[in-house]
Chains A and B, each alone.
Chain A
């Protein structure tokens, strides 16, 4: 393929390292999820499995804009968010396989990755329940006197839960350092946003609580990064919470068992035209931010990494059945009923 020569006049808006970080992370997520679907088809992965394909720019733009010591909590479409935090492909794929080497030792599966060292609070399976939890994580940061924030992510379906309103209200009343991000991918499972409420522009939900709120193009990591940076600065200054509606799209169904018949092929294709990975690739090329060789090196790295993580998951042992009785209680000698 002949490298395009179409250098635009304007300088890149971000440093080279950031573009390459976005490219690598989004490619890692995309290839990881594609492989997860293949493995699901081979029944190596069981249970529920919700992939992040199409939404990669959200994880990428958030991570480049916040600090490692900030916290993130999200819902069950979470492989990409966890990979963004720094959970390795090996730990993630092994978890999907249910192996002892997984990020939570085979105890969580697709919906429940957690990583204390990455300040990643999961991986939560009850729609919207993580909204108060993220608010509480932020409460603790304020209580301890840090300037860390908690990014509390949820889907458009969760935006209809009462937990959102209770959390928004208390976070504003107490000026908690929480950045709420709704990943609006248009559909709560099979039900479109417009069918669930009179209010379809979700950022407007913040207005009831006087919470600063804005919509963001979620197909572009530059836009996500810039909005999250602004919001984070506002929050760290002690002003209280901020709410971003990140408008994104999932290319696949809600879960592996969803054929997504509630939307048109044309709609899906239109979003694929705005694919975040293609977008960043074209910006890198057009603005000559990096060479084709550098991009190829990243693609090779990711291909090897994904092949490796599947091998690792395959070869890893199952958790011992006795592990069923660990991590239910901190108390080491808890007397389980075992008669």
Chain B
């Protein structure tokens, strides 16, 4: 509080004879920007600007929601998108506010840092002439040893002390300003850590199906989605490989998940192959990347035996639809079947695909559309077969999870009869004598692999931030003065030479200061031989009047 007043109280630099208008404007704007009012306004703006980011769907949080929003509001969405509303926290307006705020912050704390360092070097100031004008005031018996003894007692209580002849000045509570500066500097550090993370960090998501044959090695191409910082080259990605060995999940009777654990084989460059467990809340920490478990599901193994008797197996993850029972949808596509044995050429009319729903616990009776429980109590896959041109050669990248519906509507793909329910081991023979068999399932997990080089710095600065905040909020700057051999201002004739006059000045709001002062005076005054010190009358009251008085005095005292 004082610090603020000190700053506003600093006399403006003497005006130059011919002020350069541009410089003057710049200087004024800078002063305006670093003022507390501006900081307040910017803080408020920041809070308001954060609201759209929670109301509107955000790409960084959930891209599908943005797509849905586009579908729901086709006119509004593009406009919103133009102003960055779907990436609110990376948008120009949001960045502008916090960059201004942080500029203001730096402009605010640098001068304060300088002042504070100066104050730390300085000894406490000389006592004012009239101690009885300070908010706290008392007389006490002079302790044996005079000023030096007083100074010793004060030092023991960790006051910073200066002795000038018969006068002792002491100050305490530098921690408040120190804490405040640490706090604000930590804020800057947090921002820098955030920036580091987004420039030099990277992340990617993918599915990993169990089994050696489905191992994944860390390259950019292996990810379904990536978010790679602008300063990251492909070669920077650490070259580890993962194999899902086992996945365990337990659920309550109502299907609520209770426990997950994934065991993976980890191969890092220059290290032995090892097994590692990880789970929700305890990620796999590798050298240069962390692997997080986000989800899980089933990948049905579907074997198709073609006209030539050749079998192929598809093991593609079926994506969960979000219900409790892990009902999943997916596609088993067989583009390279029914190849002419003589020419070895694909026959685009005879490609096969099976769209399906997988039910870990199928109901006892139809309709077979919803699984009743997330583990495989009664597994079944419900398949619809298609024959024809899958459209993969057209060069249009198709999803491996969904059939290209255009091929169906244009008649290039035809559905083969009714949908068919298959349990593990069951076989469905199609009209042309080929067959499809449901062999079983494998587990898959959804992974997020990330590297954030700013995270350590972030954590450390948050620690400092908190410590600084505590110092700033609960630290209290105050001064006390003692004058040995003073006569009471009232001119009491008795024993004036053996008295000490004391005064105390809280420099910040400090309701408990009177008590502290009384205790200090008592400690110094040899158990208060001089009777109850005047002025310390237990009036700890802190109504408006007193607070204002304190503040007024404070101002007086600092000048």
Chains A and B belong together in one complex:
no
Report A's interface with B, CB cutoff 8 A.
none
Report B's interface with A, CB cutoff 8 A.
none
